[in-house]
Amino acid sequence: MRASSVKTVAVPSDDKRWRLVNATMRRHGSEPDALIETLHTVQEAFGYLDDTALRYVASNLKAPLSRVYGVATFYNFFTLKPQGEHNCVVCLGTACYIKGAPQILESVENLAHIMPGETTPDKKVSLLIARCLGTCGLAPAAVFDGEVAGKLTADDAVHKVQEWMKS
């Protein structure tokens, strides 16, 4: 009898942050028990949990999607993808923190008048924080609509978010 083949699920994109997610799943034996730990890693890397991530994690851990959604919505330390048309995720991990991430975050907060986890009343901009984007060499880093921007300054971030607010 041939050995059963292990079905691998393709990563949603070539975004390096999926490597962090995969490493967590592997470390926990890619079992359904790894669910909470894995969702933590997704949130720390992406700032929130979206449908793509939840489906990917469910397939890899062989857990029912309903259970994954249940866990993601039950615990208030998890954030589902915010409602904003645009998302800004500022990394507050150690490497970014010491290179000025707090100033970047504060500038965006002051500009958009929102705190992390919030969306502007016109639903244009959502602000989130992450704990490491897996690109520490580019610190300080943030993600604007899925695009990682490294060696960022507060002015760069303000400029970007201002464009969104004007559009």
| C-alpha to C-alpha distance for 142 and 156, rounded to whole angstroms | 10
Provide, rounded to whole angstroms, the least separation between the CB of residue 60 and ligand FES: 23
Within residues 49-108, the interface with ligand FES by CB under 6 A covers: 91, 93-96
- Sole window of 10-18, 49-57, 135-143, 154-162 interacting with ligand FES (rule: CB under 6 A): 135-143
Q: Which of 18, 135, 144, 164 binds ligand FES (CB under 6 A)?
A: 135
- What is d(CA 47, CA 88) in angstroms, rounded to the nearest whole number? 9
Count of residues for the chain? Answer: 167
149 forms beta bridges with 142
Of 5-13, 28-36, 65-73, 129-137, the segment contacting ligand FES by CB under 6 A is 129-137
| d(C-alpha 153, C-alpha 120), whole Å | 22
Instruction: Please state, in angstroms and rounded to a whole number, the distance separating the CA atoms of residues 127 and 87.
Output: 6
Shortest distance (Å) from residue 107 CB to ligand FES? 17
Give 8's DSSP letter: P
Cβ proximity to ligand FES: between 61 and 132 the closer is 132
Q: Name the residues that contact ligand FES, by CB under 6 A.
A: 91, 93-96, 132-133, 135-136, 139, 141
